[in-house]
Amino acid sequence: MPDRKLPTLDLKRNYARVRNEIREAVDKVLESQHFILGPEVKAFEAEVASTLGVPLAVGCASGTDALILSLMALNVGPGDEVITTPYSFFATASCITRIGARPVFADIDPDTYNFKVDDVLEKISPKTRAVIPVHLFGQMVPLENLAPELRSRGIALVEDTAQAFGATRHVGGEIQRAGGVGDVGCISFFPTKNLGAYGDGGMITSTREDLAKSLKSLRVHGSTETYFHETVGINSRLDEIQAAILRVRLRHLQEWNEERRQAAARYALLFREAGLMEWVRPPVEAPGNTHIYHQYVIRCERREALQAHLESEGISSRVYYPLCLHLQPCFSNLGYREGDFPEAEALSRDCLALPIFPELEAEEQEWLVSSMEAFYRK
Ligand SMILES: *Cc1c(COP(=O)(O)O)cnc(C)c1O
């Protein structure tokens, strides 16, 4: 057994930086004994809305629920098609099936790993009711051409912002924020996300104030007045304790995202210095984008052997994602087969997520890269 370990993510190091602030915030909620949709949720919703420059933010129980509630509020349902990427976390596609609509996939860009806008436009049919771009691993999909095109056709734009809170894109002298461009943005506060809670949590952000009433009613069983129901919603709320924790963590997020960016830049430099570019392709940050590196995902040769070698030295790595969505057994009824999305399938075979978190030390990254060098040069 190696005596040193490097995890892909170390939340304990992060907690040590904010312990006192968090305890104070949680204590305040405990003293108030107000646990559901109280002042902390309200304040946090306002802070998120102002951070993204949108008029509306509605807390809910998870990123998955944020997607489901959004599609419900937009009246997407049976008979409708929703276009998204075949390369994402499962929830991106399952939310579409959950509300009775049909997922339609568009292939990805091999450098940024995000879906290709041109492919999406080709997949639009008379049944298309929404498009879900996923800002994968912390980098924004270019929406400047897609958004106006969809708007002109009456198709909703639902940003899956689960991995990209704080990511931005500069276009034509303007700054766009992940979750602040489409009709709605869906955020996850799952503990491992850049802005993670200490339990589950989610939020819907929106540029459309007209969705406020339905989103707020759908999260409380479809009622606007307790015990009276106009629609059938779900029970999906962000709780007060999580909101209080998230308010503390939001204050530090920009700094933490910046630290992730520095770690990513250091990896790229170390790979070049070690002459590893023959075997390794670092992630590409598209011009105009500020990537916040929720994950640092490289493409590499002999992935399984590399991963085993790193593991034997005490270094963890992960495969996001080993099986594309269109090939998942639960979606076999959609009729897709292997070969339909060659770029996404190729990425699932050679991607590897390396450790990245704000507190990752330069010396740990050097250790990892020299271990990779030993593997490829032996
Ligand atoms: C994490 C994640 C979700 C779901 O968020 P939960 O809070 O875990 O429900 C959805 N989409 C993507 C891309 C994610 O990474």
Q: Could you say which DSSP state residue 137 is in?
A: G
Q: Are 217 and 223 in contact (CB under 8 A)?
A: yes
Which of 82, 165, 190 to mutate for ligand 1's pocket (most ligand atoms within 8 Å of CB)? 190
What is the C-alpha to C-alpha distance for residues 126 and 83, in angstroms, rounded to an integer? 12
Biggest CA pair distance of the chain:
70
Range in 1-15, 27-41, 77-91, 261-275 the model is least confident about:
1-15
Cα–Cα distances (Å) from 227 to 13, 212, 239, 298, in that order, read: 45, 20, 21, 51
Rounded CA separation 164/140 (Å): 7
CA-wise closest residue to 82 among 353, 252, 334: 334
Q: What is the pLDDT of residues 130-175, one digit of tens each?
A: 999 999 999 999 999 999 999 999 999 999 999 999 999 999 999 9
pLDDT of residue 278 exceeding 90, the answer is yes
Spans of all domains in the chain: 11-247, 253-377
Instruction: List residues bridging with 188 in a β-sheet.
Output: 202
| Ligand 1 atom at shortest distance from the alpha carbon of 62 | 7
Instruction: Quote the pLDDT of residue 34.
Output: 97
Percent of all residues in the chain with a pLDDT value above 90, rounded to a whole number: 97
* Architecture of the domain delimited by 253-377: Alpha-Beta Complex (3.90)
The predicted model scores a pTM of 0.97
CA distance 87 to 369: 27
For residue range 311-352, what is the model confidence (pLDDT) as tens digits? Answer: 999 999 999 999 999 999 999 999 999 999 999 999 999 999
pLDDT at 1: 58
- The one-letter amino acid code at 175 reads I
CA of 62 to the centre of ligand 1 (A): 8
Supply the pLDDT for residue 186.
98
Q: What is the mean pLDDT of residues 213-242?
A: 93
Helices 240-273 and 11-32 pack at an angle, to 10 degrees, of 170
Q: How many other C-beta atoms are found inside a 10 Å radius of the C-beta of residue 289?
A: 23
Going from the Cα of 128 to the center of ligand 1, the distance in angstroms, rounded, reads: 23
pLDDT tens, position by position, 22-70: 999 999 999 999 999 999 999 999 999 999 999 999 999 999 999 999 9
pLDDT of 230 = 87
Report whether residue 141 contacts ligand 1, using a CB cutoff of 6 Å. Answer: no
CA distance 76 to 130: 8
Kindly state if the Cβ of 63 falls inside 6 Å of ligand 1. Answer: yes
Percentage of residues in the chain with pLDDT exceeding 70?
99
pLDDT tens-digit map of 297-306? 999 999 999 9
135 or 1, greater pLDDT: 135
Q: How far apart are the first and last CA of the chain?
A: 22
Of 274, 296, 298, nearest in space to 374 by CA: 274
Is the CB of residue 91 below 6 angstroms from any atom belonging to ligand 1?
Answer: yes
* Three-class DSSP category at 128: strand
Q: Specify the CATH number of the domain 11-247.
A: 3.40.640.10
> What pLDDT is recorded for position 3?
81
Spatial distance between the Cα atoms of 240 and 242, rounded to a whole number of angstroms? 5
Q: Does 160 contact ligand 1 (Cβ within 6 A)?
A: yes
Whole-angstrom distance, CA of residue 139 vs CA of residue 267: 17
257 CB less than 6 Å from ligand 1? no
Number of neighbouring beta carbons within 10 Å of residue 6: 21
Beta-bridge mates of residue 281: 299
Burial class (CB in 10 A: 0-12, 13-18, 19+), 2: exposed
- Cα 248 to ligand 1 centre (Å): 21
Cα(275) to ligand 1 centroid in Å equals: 35
Residue-averaged pLDDT of the chain: 97
User: Measured from the CB, is residue 138 less than 6 Å from ligand 1?
Assistant: no
Ligand 1 site, residue 92, Cβ cutoff 6 A: yes
In this prediction, residues 108-121 reach a mean pLDDT of 98
